[in-house]
Amino acid sequence: MKLTAATVLASCAPSLAFALVGITWSIPGVPSTGLNSVTFPLSLAQTPHETGYYFAQQFNFVGQQDVGYTGLQPRPDANGRPAIHAVFSSFIAGTTTNDANCGSGADGGPGVSCGVEFSAPYSNGYNLEIVNTGGTTWTGTAVDSTTGDRVHIGTYTLPAGTQGIKGSQVGFVEYYPWNSGTHTCSSLPYAYVTFGYPVSPSGIGSLGDAYEYGDCVGNVAFKNSRSAGGIDVQVGFNPGTARN
């Protein structure tokens, strides 16, 4: 896994206005003070290498109402090599950062957005780690589940008094070009992603079945199934040939 591009913050935290699919996650036995780490596996092995989709998991912190996100966004190949954009964001007012991969603001509101692009095979699968690195500081890392290579996404510090990560939330699939202008449901490009079971020091979590929402329910060829790796989600039309 090789870092290939500077941070691209503009698309780090697209709005949920046109999210297509939701998927709940939960982890048992979480202490009242929350988790000090959680890992969200994602597989893009069958997803075309095109800009537009955001596959993400949301999480809450004890003592805060607003959420954080971490996720992956496909990108077109660069110089003949596959490219992936990884995201780690906080929507909590008062979040700060000194990380070069991060910037102030999240989706037009308060918080911090961190992002980095790297080159790695889509077929490998990725574990998105969120780890407390001291006090109220948290670091996001994308880990290649095949090679173990690690890419630093970003680090931010939450307001004083914030505790650990709560034991449940909702992930999503979003096609963010639809966040502005108009669209037709039948024009949605094909995508396929596997959401893996979340992992923490409290154990392996569970996933609910994926479900549609938004203004194109029933009109985007949505499919949802369970596999050994988690929940497989398919949406969109005219699939291209997935590449490694």
Query: Per-residue pLDDT averaged across 9-13, rounded?
Result: 35
Query: Per-residue b/e over 120-154, b at no fewer than 16 CB within 10 Å?
Result: bbbebbbbbbbebeeebebbbbbbbbeeeeebbbb
| Assigned domain for 99 exists | yes
Domain count within the chain: 1
203-221 pLDDT, tens digit per residue, is 999 999 999 999 999 999 9
| Assigned domain for 40 exists | yes
| Assigned domain for 242 exists | no
64-92 pLDDT, tens digit per residue, is 999 999 999 999 999 999 999 999 999 99
| Assigned domain for 155 exists | yes
| Assigned domain for 72 exists | yes
| Assigned domain for 129 exists | yes
| Assigned domain for 68 exists | yes
Q: What's the pLDDT at 18?
A: 61
| Assigned domain for 244 exists | no
Token couple for 24: 């709940």
- pLDDT band at residue 240 using 50, 70 and 90 as cut-offs: low
Query: Per-residue pLDDT averaged across 27-51, rounded?
Result: 96
120-172 pLDDT, tens digit per residue, is 999 999 999 999 999 999 999 999 999 999 999 999 999 999 999 999 999 99
Question: By three-state DSSP, how is residue 48 classified?
Answer: coil
| CATH, residue 31 | 2.60.120
87-134 pLDDT, tens digit per residue, is 999 999 999 999 999 998 777 778 899 999 999 999 999 999 999 999
Give the range of the structural domain holding residue 28, as residue numbers without chain letter: 2-235
